[in-house]
Amino acid sequence: MDDLDIRISGRAGRITFTRPKALNALTHEMARAIHRALNAWRDDDAVDLIIIDAEGDRAFCAGGDIAAIYHGALDGNHQIGRDFFADEYRMNAAIADYPKPIIAFMQGFVMGGGVGVGGHAKHRIVGDTTQIAMPESTIGMIPDVGGTWLLSRAPGWIGEYLMLTSARMGPGDAIHAGFADTYLPESEWPALIAKLEKTGDAGLIEGQTPPPAPLADRDLSAYGGSTLLEITDALERARDEGGLKPVRRNSPLSMAAGLAMVRAARGDRKIQESLAREYRFTYRATEAGDFIEGVRAQIIDKDRNPNWKMPGSTKKVADMLASLGDDELTWKDKA
């Protein structure tokens, strides 16, 4: 397919994003194609490891391509989004549980759906241009694609901070927060990829000392509040305008639900539990959430002035995260 280059090179299965003009945004078919390739290589003795990378300097993958979801929902077809998310989450879980080493080379923007592909790989390599974020609350969504799983395992209150503010992490912060493993200047990536292709030995990966991680020294205690209101009050008392600006701007429902989900994920034993919880929200997001308004304001009309209508109340969060019954996310391979 035009959006991905999937092939075997040497001892490596190769998956390369090839739509740099679209910041390598992930479509539904791309998610399915990645999953199919992983299935094909799982028991292939000719493939020792998997390399996932991307063309272009600006982005590994800046998120999911949600235009079809938006337009379908406007026409009353909410199943387009539900099918996309279900297949994407199954692919995310397949990466996380894959029996062979998966190495992701993540340059530029790595957001949303890009985190779902690269963030669950066994070896996550970042460089100087890397900017990782989970900005879903800006469009009325929650950190999905296993994002709540990753955020829940960040040190201290970093997970809450990243979820509520949509802040971007450079390479040092990404490694400190557990979204990456290895720093290596991007100029050295081609040589490492060639070595991995030739040998099939992920043990040859050697990084360098990463840049500083500002989050390691930042006081984020305000984000330890038990509710969004408590966190907002703490930020106001601290006169933390940098923290207050996004909290005042982003979707109240997305932030309240995201806060509950990150904390619930701390008790999860496997990523599938977090993904299933995320699916309950995203299943309902186009019909009963603020997703349509968020996409309109940020991506379609680009007026950056969303009119959020859904409350961030305890009841609304509970409704969005309630069991889907027969529609709960299952893990039967549909790739």
Q: Is 116:158 a contact under the CB 8 Å cutoff?
A: no
What's the pLDDT score for residue 135?
95
In the predicted structure, residue 334 carries a pLDDT above the cut 70: no
Tens of pLDDT, residue by residue over 281-318, are: 999 999 999 999 999 999 999 999 999 999 999 999 99
In the predicted structure, residue 332 carries a pLDDT above the cut 80: no
Six token digits for residue 161: 């901070």
Percentage of the chain surpassing pLDDT 90?
Answer: 96
What's the pLDDT score for residue 252?
96
What does the mean pLDDT of the chain come to? 96
Structural domains in the chain, CATH included, are 4-327 (3.90.226.10)
Tens of pLDDT, residue by residue over 54-73, are: 999 999 999 998 888 999 99
In the predicted structure, residue 335 carries a pLDDT above the cut 60: no
Closest listed residue to residue 167, CA positions, set 261, 51, 59, 245:
245
What's the pLDDT score for residue 174?
98
What's the pLDDT score for residue 333?
59
What's the pLDDT score for residue 230?
96
Percentage of the chain surpassing pLDDT 70?
Answer: 99
In the predicted structure, residue 85 carries a pLDDT above the cut 80: yes
Strands 102-106 and 123-126: parallel
What is the C-alpha to C-alpha distance for residues 27 and 197, in angstroms, rounded to an integer? 27
pLDDT, mean of residues 202-221: 96
- Spell out where the chain has E strands: 4-9, 12-17, 49-54, 59-61, 102-106, 109-111, 123-126, 131-133, 182-183
**Residues known to be catalytic:** 64, 113, 136, 144
What's the pLDDT score for residue 108?
98
In the predicted structure, residue 1 carries a pLDDT above the cut 90: no
In the predicted structure, residue 263 carries a pLDDT above the cut 80: yes
What is the C-alpha to C-alpha distance for residues 182 and 171, in angstroms, rounded to an integer? 9
Closest listed residue to residue 285, CA positions, set 66, 87, 25:
66
